Amino acid sequence: MIMKKAACKKEAYNTFRDALISELRGRFPANDLITVHHKQLVANNGKTIDCLVIQNREAGISPSFHLSHFYSHYAEAGRVLDAADEIMSLYESVEEKYAIDFSFLSDYDWASHRITCRLVNYARNARQLHDLPCIRYLDLAVVFRVLMEENDAYCSSFLVENSHIARWESTPQKCFSDAISNTPALLPYIFIPLGHVADLSGPEEYTIDTLPESDDPDSPADGIFILTNNKKHHGAGTILYENLLRQFTEKRQMERCYIIPSSIHEVILIPEHYPLPQESLRHMVREGTGQLPCKEDFLSQNLYQYDRAKNAISVI
């Protein structure tokens, strides 16, 4: 019975996908310059994402749209035309902004000011990392992404591949150096008290300057903070920001702190004096990361510790 329901659901999804592609193809001129097709993209940790791609060879753009979003919003009501309308609106916005000559992407001087870094799990992304320049970091890998435009509504960016490095005549080490310099400015860090996350009015966000000291009356009782970036997206890389953890531990008056890699989007900083043994914290990491709803959000099952005297992070 369960298998039958799954088969019916898959059939309904495929029917919606094919109808949507057919509708969109009918909205473009019948030539080879613009094509609409289905493609599976490999995301973080090897997860595949079903996408619909509109490739415009003349304009030099090929935006992709996650089919799961449109299926969940429109399939139940049978609104294929509405889904097509939304995709066309998004496509036209992209076409207006980015229908340009992309030959400038061969210029590393341009990219060097926009390149940023992200952290992913090394072992779970080993296959994809063959095609990407990366820097090993503990059990993780630093990968690079160039931000073309970033605002509250959307992000236009591309993942740096080995082909880009070759074209730029650059190296992973050079990309890392530039990304470490750029990312804190392009994607500033924020600290959020763990106990404030469920606040319906919006969690309070801190920087080093506004962060309460440990003996401040306004300081969270447990002293636990979430560290991420201002987009709260791929924010685990904030642990790489130069001297950020040193400043945090100084302000919070501690020599060391534990780092729980809760996902690729954030980490949790726990005071060294927290009343739980390390093994219990390790169990917390394994249990928490094992229950992530999205496979691609996984970062690590290891517990880390930052040591201010060494200004270094280690697996413990």
**212 with 172, same domain?**
no
Strand partners, 34: 56
pLDDT number for residue 305: 98
Instruction: Assign 212 a pLDDT band (cuts: 50, 70, 90).
Output: confident
**Closest to 299 measured CA to CA, from 261, 271, 259:** 261
Please state the pTM of the whole predicted model.
0.76
pLDDT number for residue 182: 97
> Hey, CA dihedral for 199, 119, 292, 8, is it positive or negative?
positive
pLDDT number for residue 200: 43
**278 with 215, same domain?**
yes
Give the mean model confidence (pLDDT) for residues 193-221: 75
Cα(188)–Cα(8) distance, rounded to whole angstroms?
A: 45
Question: Distance between the two ends of the chain, CA-based, in angstroms?
Answer: 46
**95 with 159, same domain?**
no
Instruction: Assign 4 a pLDDT band (cuts: 50, 70, 90).
Output: low
**145 with 197, same domain?**
no
**77 with 170, same domain?**
no
From start to end of 7-75, where are the E strands?
34-42, 48-56, 64-66
pLDDT number for residue 218: 64
Question: 163, 182, 201 — which closes off a domain?
Answer: 182
pLDDT number for residue 49: 81
Question: 76, 100, 124 — which closes off a domain?
Answer: 100
**194 with 171, same domain?**
no
Instruction: Assign 22 a pLDDT band (cuts: 50, 70, 90).
Output: very high
Instruction: Assign 130 a pLDDT band (cuts: 50, 70, 90).
Output: very high
Full residue range of the structural domain in which residue 33 is found: 2-100
**132 with 94, same domain?**
no
**227 with 255, same domain?**
yes
**302 with 195, same domain?**
yes
55-98: per-residue pLDDT in tens? 887 766 778 888 888 888 887 767 899 999 999 988 887 776 65
Instruction: Assign 220 a pLDDT band (cuts: 50, 70, 90).
Output: low
Total domain count, the chain: 3
Phi, psi of 261 (to 5 degrees): -80, 80
Question: 155, 182, 209 — which closes off a domain?
Answer: 182
**214 with 247, same domain?**
yes
Is the confidence at residue 196, as pLDDT, over 70?
no
**Closest to 120 measured CA to CA, from 264, 303, 295, 259:** 264
Cα(120)–Cα(178) distance, rounded to whole angstroms?
A: 19
- The token duo for 33 is 């310059």
Instruction: Assign 271 a pLDDT band (cuts: 50, 70, 90).
Output: very high
**200 with 266, same domain?**
yes
Instruction: Assign 2 a pLDDT band (cuts: 50, 70, 90).
Output: very low
Cα(19)–Cα(17) distance, rounded to whole angstroms?
A: 6
Q: Nearest-5° angle of CA 42, CA 74, CA 63?
A: 40
How many Cα atoms occupy the beta-carbon half-sphere of 30 within 13 Å?
2
**95 with 112, same domain?**
no
Which has more pLDDT, 129 or 61? Answer: 129
